């Protein structure tokens, strides 16, 4: 897995041309991870605002 | 006290701020769709929709910055000592809690990064207003600009997912509803907010 996209210049050098779109899946998984972690936390430790009176 | 507050309703977002929020939401989703769907295999003419939507977002964000700097209470969105001191134990907060403030800060950085790099990238395409000029930067310079744009866009996937999740959570519905209709009930205000830190009768 690479962080960047590359092209080869006229001089044969490897140039960065942008971020690697292979990373999309990891940003998606990061969002999913935060959501699941928060949902789990809220399930284990309910908010005092939502506690029964 | 505002008329809304006096009537059992507490105003949270003025109409102009709600319009800004939804213009930004539609713009961001359109930009993400036109950026990522072609990468995922959906082929269509995405570029024109993308850059025009980017300009709409740019104008909207410029408006929001001016409004928040000169017509709203900027400190409502800045983490303060009370946020830090009561970390994780805040039951009644100011207008925004620490997580919302940090989320806003992160989105602001990403969106400004996307807008700044996107405006530079406009020099790479022909539009009715200007002809392309790809020699503004060296190849390496353009690589940096495109990388910033790409990473900001991909990070916004994470941020949008988190935002939608919190908007849909039942314990946050009072906030979500207020972004549609502008107000929350007095009970919701009393249950969730500290009037000393967010006086609902104040602007912003």
Q: What is the pLDDT of residues B85-97, one digit of tens each?
A: 777 677 788 999 9
Instruction: Report the chain B residue with the minimal C-alpha distance to residue A9.
Output: B139
- Domains, chain B, with CATH or none: 3-74+91-192 (1.20.950.20)
The ipTM of this complex is 0.87
pLDDT of res. A34: 98
Instruction: Report the chain A residue with the minimal C-alpha distance to residue B167.
Output: A35
Chain B contacts of A31, Cβ < 8 Å? 157-162
Instruction: Report the chain A residue with the minimal C-alpha distance to residue B138.
Output: A15
Residue contact A17–B144, C-beta within 8 A: no
Q: What is the pLDDT of residues A6-49, one digit of tens each?
A: 998 788 888 999 999 999 999 999 999 999 999 999 999 876 65
pLDDT of res. B91: 74
Rounded-to-integer distance, Cα A25 and Cα B161, Å: 13
Q: What is the pLDDT of residues B20-63, one digit of tens each?
A: 999 999 999 999 999 999 999 999 999 999 999 999 999 999 99
The mean pLDDT value for B118-126 works out to 94
Please, which pLDDT band fits residue A50 given cuts at 50, 70 and 90?
low
Query: In this complex, is the C-beta atom of A48 within 8 Å of any C-beta atom belonging to chain B?
Result: yes
The mean pLDDT value for B129-152 works out to 92
Contact (Cβ atoms closer than 8 angstroms) between residue B76 and residue B95: yes
Rounded-to-integer distance, Cα B63 and Cα B4, Å: 25
């Amino acid at each position: 897995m690479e962080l960047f996209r590359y092209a080869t210049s006229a001089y044969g050098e490897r140039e960065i041309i942008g971020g690697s779109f292979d990373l999309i899946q990891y940003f998606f998984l990061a969002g999913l991870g935060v959501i699941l972690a928060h949902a789990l936390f809220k399930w284990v430790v309910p908010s005092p605002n939502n506690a029964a009176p | 006290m505002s008329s809304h507050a006096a009537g059992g309703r507490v105003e949270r977002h003025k109409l102009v701020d709600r319009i800004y929020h939804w213009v930004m939401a539609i713009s961001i989703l359109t930009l993400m769709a036109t950026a990522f769907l072609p990468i995922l295999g959906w082929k269509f003419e995405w570029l024109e929709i993308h850059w025009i939507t980017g300009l709409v977002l740019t104008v909207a964000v410029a408006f929001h910055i001016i409004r928040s700097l000169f017509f709203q209470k900027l400190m409502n969105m800045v983490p303060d000592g009370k946020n830090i001191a009561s970390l994780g134990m805040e039951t009644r907060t100011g207008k925004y809690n620490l997580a919302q403030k940090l989320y806003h800060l992160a989105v602001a950085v990403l969106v400004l990064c996307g807008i700044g790099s996107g405006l530079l990238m406009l020099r790479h395409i022909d539009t009715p207003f200007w002809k392309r000029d790809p020699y503004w930067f060296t190849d390496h310079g353009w690589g940096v600009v495109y990388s910033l744009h790409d990473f900001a866009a991909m990070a916004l996937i994470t941020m949008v997912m988190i935002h939608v999740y919190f908007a849909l959570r039942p314990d946050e519905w009072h906030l979500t509803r207020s972004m549609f209709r502008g107000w929350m009930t007095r009970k919701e205000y009393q249950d969730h907010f500290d009037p000393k830190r967010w006086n609902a009768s104040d602007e912003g």
